[in-house]
Homo-oligomer: A and B are copies of this chain.
């Protein structure tokens, strides 16, 4: 069996090593246009921040280690065409194109940064995106000799870059086109995030919300940034964190069905619409386990699981990836922000009739040292009482209340059922009644009235 994998970051690297274990006599190859394989792109902001010194820490497995496992990795080898009728791919490397045959093909081409349409910006040498190892090295180097950074976008990556830069003493301007920062959260939670961050002393940054960059000025480098509303400010460099788009072009061209989300449509076995071709990771659609809808939520943990599932099925061993809850977490300075399931706005969009409760509690008993705030929002369907999701913002440990919700979403529990929960309690870890349970008890009362 000859298995070819396109892409080798999270899903692709996982698929390769899984297949190698399942089918020791197969031929397994990874083709990637990247200069590195099998790395933690989620760790890039922490390398830039300086949480660890050597970027090699981000590399999970080197080309040599793959070689030792019997997996051939072809770096800087761009797959430019899939030829399903011949079970071949066309690879371009060093200005040389060649065909590679496959019995099973796994597409793990991932996603790339979304680039807003700003006049001429690609001409500048100090505009970065955050995806690859080179990005990490280049941004860190630039940061170390700069005083001011501009970040476009305040989602997960944007907010992580903000932390990295201000912790290194830079002034930062974050430009967000939405009305609120971290727009994936419900507006009330985004407001809390922004307030917590802006009330923090010792760092210099500002959020320009409801604001779009209209122009970069400068010669070879961006020297100042202009916004649609007429603001202008000088900057040393720009990082674009305005979202990502799935790399689906070669799949689409090969006739593989693309879902309504714009990512590759797959079934629970990670099979695409064309035989012997699988897709997994950030390039593939997922099923949302609460709404039942197809969604595109590209996350490293999901990529890992999908890579495993694609490998199992490509190797002939039945396995199903059920879907995602959209669980995510990040940190910015003093603030953890975490969510699972549907937000209130998402719940409305898919046809639920949501009811929610938001509470503000301490993360441990108030008399304990370092007790910190935790803002917790839980959302249920008004008609059925079915739990739909939750969001937590605040102290380190806010994420823990979100992970305590995921199983209940999986099990389609109601608020009433969840309110029987028995969480651990000790003064350094939570109040007597954990904030999550507390919120759920209030939501139960609200549902009864």
Which residues from chain A sit less than 8 Å from chain B, CB to CB?
10, 40, 42-43, 46, 51-52, 57-58, 156, 289, 299-302, 304-305, 322-331, 336, 338-340, 365-369, 397, 399-408, 410-411, 413, 417-418, 420-429, 432-434
Is the beta-carbon distance between B46 and A368 smaller than 8 angstroms? yes
Is the Cβ of A420 less than 8 Å from the Cβ of B424? Answer: no
B432 touches A40 (CB 8 A): yes
- Tell whether, in the assembled complex, residue A58 and residue B367 are in contact, meaning their CB atoms are under 8 Å apart: yes
Report yes or no: B422 in contact with A326, Cβ–Cβ below 8 A. yes
What are the residues of chain B within 8 A of A369 when measuring CB–CB? 51-52
Contacts of A424 in B (CB 8 A): 301, 327-329, 338-340, 399, 402-403
Q: Which B residues touch A300, using CB under 8 A?
A: 425, 432
Q: In whole angstroms, how far apart are the Cα atoms of A426 and B10 in the complex?
A: 14
A422–B327 contact, CB under 8 A? Answer: yes
Interface pairs (18), CB distance under 8 Å: A40-B367, A42-B432, A301-B422, A301-B423, A301-B425, A304-B433, A322-B420, A325-B422, A327-B424, A329-B425, A330-B426, A399-B400, A401-B403, A404-B407, A406-B421, A407-B408, A410-B413, A410-B417
Pairwise interchain contact A423-B400, C-beta atoms closer than 8 A: no
Asked if A425 meets B289 with Cβ closer than 8 Å, knowing A51-B368, A51-B369, the reply is no
Instruction: Give the Cβ gap from A112 to chain B, nearest Cβ, in Å.
Output: 20
In the bound complex, CA of A421 to CA of B403 (Å): 9
A399 to B410, CA, bound (A): 21
